[in-house]
Amino acid sequence: MTTPDPEGLLAEQLLRLTRRVHRIQKRHLEQRELGITPAQSRLLRTLAHYPSPPRMADLAERLEVVPRAVTTLVDGLEASGKVRRAADPANRRVTRIELTDEGRATLRELRGARRSAAEEILAPLTGKEREVLGVLLDTLVDGDAAKPC
C-alpha cells in the first residue's frame, strides 16, 4: 500500500484547474469571435500595461518568451489591425509596438470574455471562499517574495 502524497495531489489539482481555466477562457474568446489566439490576447493585455509603446524586446522579456515568438504574435495582430509598429523617435533603429483603436476595442471585449469566464469558474464558491482563494492565490503567485527573511 502506498502512502498518500498530499503535495502530489495538490499539484495535480492545480494542473487540472489550470487546464480547465484555459479551456473555459478559450471558449469565451471563441464565442466573441475576436479572431485572436490566447497568446495574442496575452500580448495585447501586456501591451496595455505599458505607459508608452514598448520595444519588442521589452514584450519578450515581460512575456518570458523568445523575441521571435513576439515577432510572430505582432505580425498576426498587425495584420488584423490591432497593433502597429512605429519607429522610435529617439532611435530610428528601434521599433515600438502601439495599440490601435481596433486593439483597444478588442481589449475591452477580452476583458468581458475573461470576466464571464471567471464568473463561470468561480460560480460554485461563496463570496467568503472567493476572498480566501484570492489570498491563497496571491501567496502562491508571490512565492518566496511573500516570506520574511
> What SS3 class is residue 95?
strand
Residues whose CB falls within 8 Å of the CB of residue 35, separated by 6 or more in sequence, listed in order: 80
Which helix (H) or strand (E) element contains residue 85?
strand 83-88
Query: What is the per-residue pLDDT across 66-105, written as a single tens digit (0 to 9) for each?
Result: 999 999 999 999 999 999 999 998 998 899 999 999 999 9
81: three-class secondary structure by DSSP: coil
pLDDT in tens, 18-64: 999 889 988 888 888 888 888 899 999 999 999 999 999 999 999 99
- Is the C-alpha dihedral spanning 65, 66, 72, 75 positive or negative? positive
How is domain 27-142 classified at the architecture level of CATH? Orthogonal Bundle (1.10)
pLDDT tens sequence across 97-116: 999 999 999 999 999 988 99
Question: Per-domain residue ranges for the chain?
Answer: 27-142
